[in-house]
Amino acid sequence: MTLSIYDYATLTDEECDARIIAAKATLGERCVILGHHYQRNEVFKHADFSGDSLKLSKNAAESTAEFIVFCGVHFMAEVADILSRPNQIAILPDLAAGCSMADMANLMKVKQCWSELAQVLDVENEVTPVTYINSAADLKAFCGEHGGIVCTSSNAEKILNWSFSRREKILFFPDQHLGRNTAHRMGMDLDEMVVWNFTKPMGGLTVEQIKNAKMILWDGFCSVHQMFKPEHIDNFLAQHPETKVISHPECSLEVCQKSDFVGSTEFILNTVRASESGSRWLVGTELNLVNRLNEECPDKEVHFMSPMICMCSTMFRTDPQHLVWVLENLVAGHVVNQISVPEKEAILAKEALNSMLSVA
């Protein structure tokens, strides 16, 4: 019988710590733990590999472990399942760890958008569907089926170049900000981009607007990164003008335009780590990463961009209690919380993911 999560609820973090270490030692190379940078410290410290979405998807593809325990969110564990070999098992310690941005696009709405666009455009020849990796597997499969591709925050520019070399327009979902920031940095005018409002017929756009657009941006966003505002940067710089500002591309265009650097979580970490001793940074991304970076770099000043606490509540769901629960079940011979993408969907999604991995 599987061990019940309810028997773990009252364990302290310290008790979990010792038991996670023991379970990992027993499982040895049979198990690998992947940890996204937004994970809380109590979990993050147990990761064998940490990284941004791109790096972790490569770790998952290269792993030979029987069990891939993903301390991240649901779409990341789906990617691990899709890219790993058939006998490997992807596990998400808390099944409620989703991504609210990923949920802003679903297959029904994207198919509806595609068929509405088809009334105006020759979609299969004119439009490349590009999904941010923060999306459900069926949307990656949709891209695979329609000559499209997946991107992450660290390879978006290369992926947009790949897409534009094939077809003249891009339908980009679910994050409008990553799409807009990337295309704008590549030199595209804002008036060549439109936002597809998925609650309205034809996305709320006219035929002319659709025909003239190069980027059709899904009306999705990250509820964490939308909290960072240009005035947070202005206020901070007014007091400390020499500060370097660095943001994640899920932030708004206005925030990214006021930033000295824009990039993925891995890019943010590497840039601040490599900076001069004594430098001061204002960072626009999730709080757990910023706090850890601050502790890691005592020779620098690392500040969180917002006066509000912006944590990714779903990343936070993975706690040491869930982690030890899944590991001790594996030790006892039980798999709990397996993430398994249906085969038909996985084949198509893998096409779109492999296209991405071959580009960047």
Q: Which residues bind ligand SF4 (CB under 6 A)?
A: 73, 99-101, 134, 222-224, 250, 286, 312, 314-315
Query: From the list ligand 13P, ligand SF4, none, which binds 279 (C-beta under 5 to 8 Å, kind-based)?
Result: none
Q: Which does 153 bind (CB under 5 to 8 A by kind): ligand 13P, ligand SF4, none?
A: ligand 13P
Identify which of residues 45 and 58 has a Cβ nearer to ligand 13P in the complex. 58
| E strand segments, the chain | 31-36, 49-51, 67-71, 89-91, 127-132, 149-151, 169-173, 193-196, 215-218, 244-247, 261-262, 280-284, 301-304, 338-339
Prior bond of 174 cis (ω within 30°):
yes
Specify the DSSP element, H or E, that contains 14: helix 13-27
Binding flag, residue 264, ligand 13P (CB under 6 A): yes
Q: How far is the CB of 174 from ligand SF4 (least distance, A)?
A: 9
CB contact at 8 A, 39 and 47: yes
Q: Which is nearer to ligand 13P, 24 or 36 (CB)?
A: 36
Nearer to ligand SF4, 286 or 328 (CB): 286
Rounded Cα gap, residues 201 and 208, in angstroms:
15
DSSP at 176: H
Binding mask 130-159 for ligand 13P (x = CB under 6 A): ----x-----------------xx------
Structure tokens at 94: 């808390």
In angstroms, the CA 37 to CA 250 distance is: 15
Sole binder of ligand 13P in the list 94, 250, 328, 351 (CB under 6 A): 250
Per residue, what are the HEC states of 216-246?
EEECECCCCHHHCCHHHHHHHHHHCCCCEEE
Indicate which single residue of 52, 138, 319, 351 sits in contact with ligand 13P (rule: CB under 6 A). 52
* Residues 191-230 contacting ligand 13P, CB under 6 A: 222
Smallest distance, ligand 13P to C-beta of residue 138, A = 19
DSSP-derived 3-state class of residue 71: strand
Q: Which residues bind ligand 13P (CB under 6 A)?
A: 37, 52-53, 134, 152-153, 222, 250, 264-265
